[in-house]
Amino acid sequence: MSDIEDEGRYRAPALDKGLDMIELLAAREEGMTLKDIATALGRSPTELYRMLDRLARRGYVSRHGDSYQLTMKLFLVAHQRPQIRRLIAQAMPAMRRFTNVAEQACHLVKYDRGDLVIIAQVEAPGYWGVTIRVGAQIGLVNSGSGHVFLAYASPEEKALMYEEHEPMPYEVASPGLEERLKDVRRQGYESMESQQTPAVANLSVPILGANGAVQAVLTCPFVRRLENPNAPDRDRVLRILVETCREISSPGEAAD
């Protein structure tokens, strides 16, 4: 039986409609009317109204006049997973100490079936810094976090990661990526210029579990602080980041 035939074998049209609406609203900054949603999905407002009403009553969607928006409930549900809660609870105190000493922001990245997702972040002290919002997805092949996950993966795991990952519009793999990944594995971290933001360097270090597998990656989007000449430089910040990840990766305490 082909994959297409298998996918259609146990169809759940009502569930598909609900998921289609959630995914559509998740991609929009502004709210959408029922008519807009129906038009975007190629369906009639009548067949979507009851499903949208249930999503609103369950708290997944909020209604403001005639406009519907996705709430944070899906995000909160995802964070109820025990392993995610443990990892964030364990990492956050160390992340806060890092930002205070390094004077830089940092964010925690988790790999999940093809996606790299920011699950926690701490802003830099002071009035400005570079941060990525929690819940954002980042690239696999052109980010420091992605390089670390790929570098520590077995050939079989890496092949599966490439297969599962849906490239983002801006993602372009470097011709020398495999050699780069060997360097990352050998030195135990990635230090590269950001391919998305000028004047930012991605410093990324793995958080390892008791079995040596990468549980998450802690990344610092380093920017040189011109207003404070005494702030730690890039090399010093990288050393602090490595020490922070060793603290979080204490044997027997890393999240599964």
User: What's the rounded mean pLDDT across residues 144-163?
Assistant: 95
State how far the alpha carbon of 79 is from the alpha carbons of 1, 70, 108, in Å: 36, 17, 13
User: What's the rounded mean pLDDT across residues 167-192?
Assistant: 92
Q: Are residues 133 and 222 in the same domain?
A: yes
CATH code: domain of residue 50: 1.10.10.10
CATH code: domain of residue 226: 3.30.450.40
Q: Are residues 23 and 113 in the same domain?
A: no
Phi, psi (degrees; rounded to nearest 5) at 187: -90, -20
Q: What is the predicted pLDDT for the residue at 5?
A: 46
Q: Are residues 88 and 211 in the same domain?
A: yes
Q: What is the predicted pLDDT for the residue at 29?
A: 79
Higher pLDDT, 94 or 165: 94
Distance from C-alpha of 74 to C-alpha of 91, rounded to nearest angstrom: 22
Q: What is the predicted pLDDT for the residue at 228?
A: 80
Q: Are residues 7 and 105 in the same domain?
A: no
Question: In this structure, what DSSP letter does residue 155 have?
Answer: H
Distance from C-alpha of 116 to C-alpha of 217, rounded to nearest angstrom: 10
The residue range of the domain holding 47 is: 3-75
Flag whether pLDDT at 129 surpasses 80: no
Q: What is the predicted pLDDT for the residue at 79?
A: 58
State how far the alpha carbon of 231 is from the alpha carbons of 130, 223, 234, 238, in Å: 16, 11, 10, 13
Flag whether pLDDT at 26 surpasses 80: yes
Q: Are residues 67 and 131 in the same domain?
A: no
Of the candidates 158, 160, 252, 244, the one whose C-alpha atom is nearest the C-alpha of residue 211 is 252
Q: Is residue 254 part of a domain?
A: no
* Helices 45-57 and 13-26: angle between axes, nearest 10 degrees: 70
Higher pLDDT, 8 or 239: 239
User: What's the rounded mean pLDDT across residues 139-147?
Assistant: 94
Q: Are residues 96 and 64 in the same domain?
A: no
State how far the alpha carbon of 196 is from the alpha carbons of 11, 35, 132, 177, 193, in Å: 40, 36, 12, 17, 9
Q: What is the predicted pLDDT for the residue at 4?
A: 46
pLDDT interval class at 7 (50, 70, 90): low
The most confident of the ranges 17-21, 37-41, 239-243 is 239-243
Q: Are residues 92 and 217 in the same domain?
A: yes
Q: Is residue 153 part of a domain?
A: yes
Q: Tokens representing 39?
A: 């038009």
Q: Which residues of 168-188 are buried (b: 16+ CB within 10 A; e: fewer)?
A: beebeeeeeeeebbeebbeee
Higher pLDDT, 188 or 209: 188
Q: Are residues 69 and 85 in the same domain?
A: no
Amino acid identity at 69: Q
The pTM for the full model equals: 0.71
User: What's the rounded mean pLDDT across residues 156-183?
Assistant: 90
Q: Are residues 70 and 194 in the same domain?
A: no
**Maximum separation of any 2 CA atoms in the chain, in Å:** 65
Instruction: Give the number of other CB atoms < 10 A from CB of residue 192.
Output: 16
* Total domains in the fold of the chain: 2
pLDDT interval class at 203 (50, 70, 90): very high
Flag whether pLDDT at 55 surpasses 60: yes
Of the candidates 211, 157, 144, 209, the one whose C-alpha atom is nearest the C-alpha of residue 183 is 144
Q: Are residues 64 and 86 in the same domain?
A: no
pLDDT interval class at 81 (50, 70, 90): low
Helix (H) or strand (E) holding 124: none
Q: Are residues 233 and 145 in the same domain?
A: yes
Phi, psi (degrees; rounded to nearest 5) at 232: -55, 135
Q: Is residue 145 part of a domain?
A: yes
Q: Tokens representing 247?
A: 């603290």
Q: Are residues 86 and 176 in the same domain?
A: yes
